[in-house]
Amino acid sequence: MKRISLLSLTGLLALSACSSETKISVIDNDSLYKLDAKFDGSRTAMVKEYVNDFYKPTQVLPLNSEGASHEVTLPDQTKFKIEASKGELHLQFDKKENSPAAYAQVRALSKGLGKVVTEE
């Protein structure tokens, strides 16, 4: 029994060590949706491409710029702030300034982002 417990503990510690570089936190209240993601810096280009592909044809994040904060207005008048730097992405979306459909899109973006930053 001790051997199984020790193996389980070792597995949990290994999982913690592997996932320590990736962290996604979301604040979702009545007026604000805020996403902060930290991930392996080697995935920064993939994250930018994912965000740009999601909002095609609008290029939300310039692929050659780093660390700049952008206020984005999409053709449907969705507005949000986004910033990407090596290993980080920050998004702030004001629910009162945007439609429920735009909010649903931002949530879908966030869900897909989790897959992009954790894929092997």
- Which CATH number does the domain housing residue 56 bear? 3.30.1360
* 16 occurs within a structural domain: no
* 14 occurs within a structural domain: no
Amino acid at residue number 1: M
The pLDDT value given to residue 10: 37
pLDDT per 10-residue tile (average), the chain, 120 residues: 42 41 93 96 93 94 78 95 94 97 96 87
pTM: 0.78
**DSSP label of 98:** S
Phi-psi region of 86 (alpha: psi -120 to 50; beta: other; left: phi over 0): beta
Domain count of the chain?
A: 1
The pLDDT value given to residue 1: 47
User: What per-residue string of b and e applies to 84-97 under the rule 16 or more CB within 10 Å gives b?
Assistant: beebbbebbbebee
Chain centroid to Cα 1, Å, comes to 40
Structural domain boundaries enclosing 66? 21-118
